Amino acid sequence: MLRRRRLSCRAFSMLRRTERAVLVLTIIILLLFHVLFLLFLPFGGGGERVLFLLRSGTSTRLLARHLKEAGLVRSEGLFLLTASLLRVRFIAGEYEFRRPVSLWDILRKMGRGERRIYTLTIREGANIFDVAEEVEKKGIMERKRFLALCHDRVFLRVMGIEASSLEGYLAPDTYFYSKEVEPEQFIGLIVRRRLAFFNEPFIKARMQELGLDIHKTLTLASMIEREAKIKEEKPLISAVFHNRLKRGMSLDCDPTVIYGLQLFGESLRRSHLRTRTPYNTYLLKGLPDGPICNPDDHSIRAALYPAPVSYLYFVSRNDGTHVFSNTREEHDRFVFMYQKNKR
Select from 52, 82, 116 the last residue of a domain: 116
Neighbours of 118 (CB within 10 A): 16
How large is the angle between the packed helices 297-304 and 201-210, nearest 10 degrees? 50
Are 157 and 178 within one domain? yes
pLDDT at 38: 61
> Cα dist. 169→126, 154, 258 in Å?
11, 16, 19
| DSSP for 78-90, written as a single string | HHHHHHHHTT---
Q: Which domain holds residue 302?
A: 211-339
Are 101 and 220 within one domain? no
Are 76 and 124 within one domain? no
- pLDDT tens sequence across 26-44: 666 656 655 554 666 777 7
In 99-224, DSSP assigns E strands to 118-122, 173-177
Are 258 and 228 within one domain? yes
- Distance in angstroms (rounded) separating the CA atoms of residues 253 and 284: 11
Are 152 and 101 within one domain? no
Select from 97, 116, 135 the last residue of a domain: 116
Phi and psi, residue 57, nearest 5°: 90, 0
Residue length, the chain? Answer: 343
Are 101 and 178 within one domain? no
Question: Does a structural domain hold residue 4?
Answer: no
> What's the domain count of the chain?
3
Are 175 and 250 within one domain? no
Are 164 and 249 within one domain? no
The DSSP bridge pattern shows strands 322-325 and 49-54 to be unpaired
Are 192 and 230 within one domain? no
Question: Does a structural domain hold residue 25?
Answer: yes
Select from 116, 136, 168 the last residue of a domain: 116
Q: Indicate the residue type of 165.
A: S
Residue 73 has pLDDT above 60, yes or no: yes
- pLDDT tens sequence across 278-315: 999 999 999 999 999 999 999 999 999 999 999 999 99
Q: Which residue has the higher pLDDT, 301 or 336?
A: 301
Question: Does a structural domain hold residue 262?
Answer: yes
158-195 burial: b if 16+ Cβ within 10 Å, else e: ebebebebbbbbbbbeebebbbbbebeebbbebbeebe
- Distance in angstroms (rounded) separating the CA atoms of residues 217 and 194: 12
Are 184 and 299 within one domain? no
Are 187 and 219 within one domain? no
Question: Does a structural domain hold residue 325?
Answer: yes
- Distance in angstroms (rounded) separating the CA atoms of residues 326 and 309: 9
pLDDT at 145: 97
pLDDT at 301: 98
Question: Does a structural domain hold residue 324?
Answer: yes
- pLDDT tens sequence across 225-264: 999 999 999 999 999 999 999 999 999 999 999 999 998 8
Q: How confident is the model at residue 2 (pLDDT cuts 50, 70, 90)?
A: very low
Dihedral of the alpha carbons of 154, 158, 159, 162, in degrees to the nearest 10: 60
Question: Does a structural domain hold residue 12?
Answer: no
Are 85 and 168 within one domain? no
Question: Does a structural domain hold residue 2?
Answer: no
**What average pLDDT does the segment 190-195 reach?**
97
Least confident segment among 31-35, 109-113, 187-191, 267-271: 31-35
Q: Residue 99: which CATH number?
A: 3.30.1490.480
- Distance in angstroms (rounded) separating the CA atoms of residues 225 and 51: 39
- Distance in angstroms (rounded) separating the CA atoms of residues 237 and 117: 39
Asked whether the beta carbons of 272 and 261 are under 8 A apart, the reply is yes
Question: Does a structural domain hold residue 11?
Answer: no
